[in-house]
Homo-oligomer: A and B are copies of this chain.
Amino acid sequence: MQQWKDYQEKNKQRFLDELLELLRIPSISAKPENKNDMVSCAEKVKQRLEEAGAQKVEIFSTKGHPVVFGEIKVDDSKPTVLVYGHYDVQPVEPLELWHSGPFDPVIKDGKIYARGSADDKGQFYMHIKALETMVKTNSVPLNIKFIIEGEEEVGSDNLEPFLEAHKDLLKADVVLISDTSMISLDTPSLDTGVRGLSYIEVEITGPNRDLHSGVYGGAVANPITILAQMIASLHDENNHITIPGFYDDVQVLSEEERTKLNKAPFDESEYKNELGVKELWGEKGYTTLERTGVRPTLELNGIWGGYMGEGSKTVLPANAHAKISCRLVPGQDHHKMTDLLIKHLEKITPNCVRIKAFAHHGGNPYVTPIDSIEYKAAEKAIEATFGKAPIPVRGGGSIPITSLFESILNCKTIFMGFGLDNDNLHSPNEKYNVENYYKGIETIPYFHKFYADLKK
C-alpha cells in the first residue's frame, strides 16, 4: 500500500509534533489536582479523532474521568474493530530522578522522553494517525471504533458500567490494543496474554501515637519491624509465595508449552547488565521468561513509616504502611486472590499491633488464542512491515479490562504493542522510540486490511 507510506512520509513531522503536544498534558489519573488536565486531555483526543476523520466523536463523563468515543463506519457488512487505549498516565514520583520534565517531552537519541510516551499516549495515538492515513487515502477497509479511557492506571473502575451501558454503541468483532511491548524491532513479537492483578494496601498500627524510641523502645511492638516480619514471611527460601492456596488455581503449563515459551530469545547477561544487577531473583524451578510471563508474583510496590527525612529522629512510630500487588495468571480470579491476600495478612498479624488492609484495584489474567483469525491478521500485519513473523510471548503486565471486553462485549482482544521492555513504564524517564511510533502507524492499517480480508 504505497499510498499509505507516501501519506505517512509526507506528514511525519506533524504526526510527531501532535504526539508531543498530547504528552505535555499532565493527565495523571491518580491525583485529584490533575482533574482539569484529565478533561483537557480528553478534549484534545476528541479534537484529534475528529480531525483524523472519525464520526460521532463524543466525550462521555463517568463517575471518574471521561471516556472518549469515536468511530468510522464504512459498510455494515464489514467487520468492526474496537480500538482501546488510555490517555491517563502514572504518577511521576520520584521527580528528582527524571533527566527532563515528565511533561516537557524531549527527543534524544531517537527516543521521546515523557510520562505516557509509551504508556499509552504514544501507542494509542498511532491508531489515530493510522485512521487518518486510511481516511485521507480513501482506503478504510472496515469499520473502526475507538474508546480512549482515562482510568487505566487507577484500575478502570468506571469502564465496566460504561461498557454495560453502551453495549450497542461498542458492538465489535475484536478489540485491538497497543499498550504492550515487543522484544525489539529486529525481533518483533506479539503478546498472547497478560497477567491479572490484585493490588492492596496495608496499615499496621501499634501504639496510639509516635513514641520516643528510647523511653518505650524494647517494650512496645514497632509497627515497622512487625510489618517487615509479615512481608518477609510471604516468600519462602525458594521465593515461592507462602500464602496457603495461592497457587491452587494456577493453570499448569504442559512441558511442551514451557519449551515453546522458553524458545523466545533471551540473553540473561544482557538482561542483568541492562538492569544493573549482579544476580537475578525469582521462584526456584522457573526461568526468567516463565517468572515474568506465566507465574504469579507478589511484589512490594511501596512501603513507608516513621521518620523519612534527613538526619535522624529517634521515634518508634505509631504505624507503618505498604502497597502490595500480585500478578495473576490464567486460572486465578482477582477477587478471590485479593480476598485471600487480605485474609492471610489479617491472620498473620500478631496481637501486639492492629491491621487495616484494603483493595485498590484488580483484574483478571487474559490469554489470546493464537489460532484465531484475529491473531493471524496481527501476525500478517507485522510480517508485512517488519519482514518477519512475530514471536508469540506472554506479557508480564496487566490490562485488566480485557476480561471485561470478553464478558460484556463478547470480543477477543489482540495485543499489538510497539513498546520495548526498557521503555521505563511507570518509572522516571519513560520513553518511546520514535522509530517504534512510526512503525506502529505503518503496521496498524495492515491489521485492518488483513482482518477485513480474512473475515470475508
Contact = CB atoms under 8 A, between A and B. Distances in A.
Contacts of A30: 309-313
A235 interface: yes
A412 to B, nearest CB: 21
A1 interface: no
* A-B CB proximity, top 6 nearest: A214-B397, A208-B276, A232-B232, A302-B306, A221-B281, A218-B297
A301 interface: yes
A428 interface: yes
Interface in A401-416: none
Interface stretch (A129-137, A250-258, A315-323): A315-323
B228 A214 contact: no
A379 to B, nearest CB: 22
A195 B218 CA distance: 12
Given A301-B307, A306-B323, A218 B291 contact: yes
B277 A207 contact: yes
A32 B309 CA distance: 12
How many copies of this protein are present in the complex? Answer: 2
Interface string A278-320: 1111110000100110011101111111111111111111001
Interface stretch (A40-48, A49-57, A419-427): A419-427
Contact of A199 (B91, B299, B312): B312
B303 A224 contact: yes
B276 A207 contact: yes
A197 B313 CA distance: 12
Given A301-B307, A303-B306, A314 B426 contact: yes
A303 B195 CA distance: 30
A300 B201 CA distance: 20
A14 B362 CA distance: 61
Contact of A327 (B194, B217, B222): B217
Contacts of A337: none
Given A224-B303, A275-B220, A303-B228, A209 B313 contact: no
Contacts of A325: 213, 312, 314
Nearest to A360: B312
Contact of A93 (B207, B211, B300, B309): B309
B303 A208 contact: no
Contact of A315 (B301, B304, B322): B301
Contacts of A188: none
Contacts of A323: 306-308, 312-313
Contact of A426 (B206, B210, B397): B210
A303 B304 contact: yes
Nearest to A235: B225
Given A224-B300, A302-B224, A209 B316 contact: no
A116 interface: no
A444 B310 CA distance: 36
Q: Which size class do A's interface residues fall under?
A: 35 or more
A279 B226 CA distance: 13
Contact of A396 (B214, B278, B281): B214
Nearest to A295: B218
Interface string A13-37: 0000000000000000011100000
Contacts of A313: 30, 90-91, 153, 301-302, 323, 426
Interface centre among A211, A216, A280, A351 (most CB of B within 10 A): A216
B327 A213 contact: yes
Given A232-B233, A307-B302, A280 B154 contact: no
Contacts of A211: 275, 426-427
Contacts of A225: 231-232, 235, 299-300
A97 interface: yes
Contacts of A201: 312
Given A153-B313, A312-B361, 16 more contacts: A30-B309, A91-B307, A93-B307, A207-B277, A213-B297, A213-B301, A214-B395, A218-B299, A218-B327, A219-B282, A220-B281, A220-B282, A229-B232, A278-B354, A301-B314, A311-B360
A165 interface: no
A285 to B, nearest CB: 13
Interface string A64-102: 000000000000000000000000001101100100000
30 contacts: A94-B210, A97-B209, A194-B214, A199-B314, A206-B277, A207-B276, A209-B424, A209-B427, A211-B275, A213-B297, A215-B395, A218-B292, A218-B296, A219-B281, A221-B281, A225-B231, A225-B232, A225-B235, A228-B228, A228-B303, A278-B351, A278-B354, A300-B305, A301-B312, A302-B305, A302-B307, A302-B315, A307-B323, A313-B323, A314-B398
